[in-house]
């Protein structure tokens, strides 16, 4: 029963969706402050490679090494985001182009690849990696076994993050201020909220989350380093934020949905179920589905009620208020 297609898909969705979830949560924070960061893929890759490097080079017990690796990954992602933040907040550059530049700089043929090469990280298994937390007896329980108890600690932490960010946005003063900054920076400025500071902090925090998302790939899912190991996850994460109406709990649903779609093609093949003329058709499903969902959520009514932060994508210049 636990090996039935549905259960396996859901469990896979949770596992493979976790990097997407982290990255989406980070992008959500940045976008809520009004900053669009298209460099998620680059930030994830840099986080992935630096987290992996930490685990390979740090001589410590598994627990310590893994915690350090996550911290390093977060810092690496944050540093990348800081470049983007400086360019678009202080220097008022185009957010779109700056984000793309970050992806090129840090991405698959850029900094992350360079670091992977120079630090000799390829062709080695991770010395420490995240594995399932609960004992295998619990993992065998029907339904909840594989889905809930078969996951590693990064998954559980991501759940905590979803709750925390959700509460932050709706119940805390800084969180409400953040929403004001994203909706109308001019009004927030008048109220005495430091728009620049909020944007910096949340964009950089977004980078940290993206870095952790990347490290999830190299430390939990496929514990090795390969150029471009995230394979476009950063772009999906950006779409997920829109898909989720900029709400953390819906980011979780979207991330797992997408993760399950990614696992669908091989699962169908292994069970000899043929959907369409070729396997490539099922491989493109995640992308097609995301487009369809984007269309639905972006339509007029939905947008008005639960839409994007109004000031998303625009630099805030006090003199031009």
Partner 1 sequence: MRVTVERRLRQPRWLVVAVPIASVVFALAVAALVLLATGHNPLTTYHQLVDAAFLQTGSLGQTLISATPLAFTGLAAAAAFRMKLFNIGAEGQMYMGAITGAAAGLYLGGRGGPSAFVIASMVVAGCVGGVVWALIPGILRAFFKTNEILTSLLLNYVAGYVLTYLIFESESYWRQTKGFNATVFPTGKPLPHSALWPGWTIHAQGGIAVPLGAGFGLLAAVVVWLLYSRTRFGFEAQVLGDSDRAARYAGVRVRRKILSVMALSGAIAGLGGASQVGDFAHALDGDPNGLQKQGFGYSGIVVAALARYNPFAVVLVAFLIGGLQNAGNTLQGATFPAGLVGVIQGIILFSALGGELLIRHRIRIGRRVKGPAPTSPEPAA
Partner 2 sequence: MKRTRKLALAALLTAAVALIGASAGAAKHSAAPYKVAWIYVGPHNDGGWSQAHENGRLYVQKMLGSKVQTTYKENIAVGAQFSQTVASLVAQGYKLIFATSYGYVNKAFAAKYPNVLFEQATGTDVSKNLSEYFGKAEDTVFLSGMAAGAASTTGNIGYVVAYPIPEVIRHANAFALGAQLTHPGATVHLVWTHSWFDPAAEKKAAQSLHTAGADVLGQNVDSPAAGQFAESVGIPWVGYDSDAAKFAPKSWLTASVYNWGPYYLKRVKAAMAGTWKPGFYYGTINDGFTTLAPYGAGVTAATKAKIATYEKKIENGSYYEFTGPLYDQSGKLRVAKGVKMQVLKGGTNSLYGMNWLVKGVVGSPKG
The residue ranges that bind partner 1 (CB under 8 A) are 38, 83, 87, 91-94, 96-98, 100-102, 104-118, 227, 232, 235, 238-239, 242, 277-281, 283-284, 287-288, 290-291, 294-295, 298-300, 303, 317, 319-320
Q: How many residues line the site for partner 2 (CB under 8 A)?
A: 35
Residue 118 binding partner 2, by CB under 8 A = no
Closest CB to partner 2 among residues 150, 206:
150
Q: Which stretch binds partner 2 (CB under 8 A): 60-68, 121-129, 197-205, 288-296?
A: 121-129
3-state helix, strand, coil in the chain (%, to 5): 70, 0, 25
3-state SS assignment for residue 132: strand
Closest CB to partner 2 among residues 153, 294:
153
Residue 221 binding partner 2, by CB under 8 A = yes
62 binds, among partner 1, partner 2, none (CB under 5 to 8 A by kind): none
Closest CB to partner 2 among residues 174, 232:
232
Residue 314 binding partner 2, by CB under 8 A = no
Contact string 134-153 vs partner 2 (x = CB under 8 A): --------------------
239 binds, among partner 2, partner 1, none (CB under 5 to 8 A by kind): partner 1
Residue showing tokens 């829109």: 242
Residue showing tokens 């549905």: 6
Q: Which stretch binds partner 2 (CB under 8 A): 49-57, 180-188, 221-229, 297-305?
A: 221-229
Residue 62 binding partner 2, by CB under 8 A = no
Residue 16 contacts residue 254 (beta carbons within 8 Å): no
| Of 163, 224, 203, residue with least CA distance to 43 | 203
- C-beta of 227: minimal distance to partner 2 in Å? 6
Largest CA distance in the chain: 64
| Of 42, 22, 182, 23, residue with least CA distance to 98 | 42
| Helix pair 195-216, 173-183: axis angle to 10 deg | 100
Q: 213 is written with which tokens?
A: 């998302």
Q: What is the DSSP string of 111-126?
A: HHHHHHHHTT-TT---
Residue 12 contacts residue 263 (beta carbons within 8 Å): yes
Looking at 189, 283, 297, 307, which residue binds partner 2 (CB under 8 A)?
Answer: 283
Q: Which stretch binds partner 2 (CB under 8 A): 20-28, 162-170, 226-234, 247-255?
A: 226-234
Residue 38 contacts residue 8 (beta carbons within 8 Å): no
- Taking the CA atoms of the chain, what radius of gyration do you get in angstroms? 20
Closest CB to partner 2 among residues 278, 299:
278
Residue showing tokens 């004992």: 135
What is the distance, to the nearest Å, from the Cα of residue 101 to the centroid of all Cα atoms in its chain? 19
96 binds, among partner 1, partner 2, none (CB under 5 to 8 A by kind): partner 1
- C-beta of 179: minimal distance to partner 2 in Å? 35
Closest CB to partner 2 among residues 78, 263:
263
| Of 73, 75, 80, residue with least CA distance to 38 | 80
Residue 158 contacts residue 18 (beta carbons within 8 Å): yes
Which residues would be at the binding site for partner 2 (CB under 8 A)?
A: 3, 8, 12, 16, 109, 117, 120, 122-125, 131, 217, 221-224, 226-227, 229, 231, 262-263, 265-267, 269-272, 274, 278-280, 283
């Amino acid at each position: 029963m636990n090996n039935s297609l549905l259960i396996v898909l859901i469990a896979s969705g949770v596992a493979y969706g976790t990097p997407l979830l982290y990255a989406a949560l980070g992008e959500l924070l940045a976008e809520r402050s009004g900053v669009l960061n298209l460099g998620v893929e680059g930030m994830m890759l840099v986080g992935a490679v630096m987290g992996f490097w930490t685990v390979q080079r740090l001589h410590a017990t598994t627990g310590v090494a893994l915690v350090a690796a996550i911290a390093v990954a977060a810092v690496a992602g944050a540093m990348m985001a800081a470049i983007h933040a400086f360019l678009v907040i202080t220097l008022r550059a185009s957010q779109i182009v700056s984000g793309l530049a970050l992806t090129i700089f840090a991405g698959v043929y850029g900094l992350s690849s360079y670091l992977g090469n120079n630090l000799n990280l390829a062709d080695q298994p991770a010395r420490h990696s995240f594995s399932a937390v609960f004992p295998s007896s619990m993992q065998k329980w029907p339904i909840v076994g594989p889905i809930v108890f078969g996951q590693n600690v990064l998954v559980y932490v991501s759940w905590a993050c979803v709750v925390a960010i959700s509460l932050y946005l709706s119940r805390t003063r800084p969180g409400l201020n953040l929403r004001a900054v994203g909706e109308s920076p001019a009004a927030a400025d008048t109220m005495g909220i430091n728009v620049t500071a909020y944007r910096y902090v949340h964009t950089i925090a977004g980078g940290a989350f993206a870095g952790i998302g990347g490290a999830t790939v190299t430390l939990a899912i496929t514990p090795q380093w390969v150029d471009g190991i995230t394979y476009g996850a950063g772009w999906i994460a950006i779409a997920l934020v829109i898909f989720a109406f900029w709400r953390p709990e819906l980011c979780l649903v979207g991330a797992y949905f997408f993760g399950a779609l990614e696992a669908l093609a091989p699962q169908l093949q292994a069970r000899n179920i043929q959907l369409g003329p070729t396997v490539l058709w099922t491989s493109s499903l995640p992308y097609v589905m995301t487009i369809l969902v984007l269309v639905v959520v972006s339509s007029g009514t939905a947008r008005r009620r639960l839409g994007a932060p109004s000031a998303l994508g625009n630099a805030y210049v006090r003199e031009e208020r």
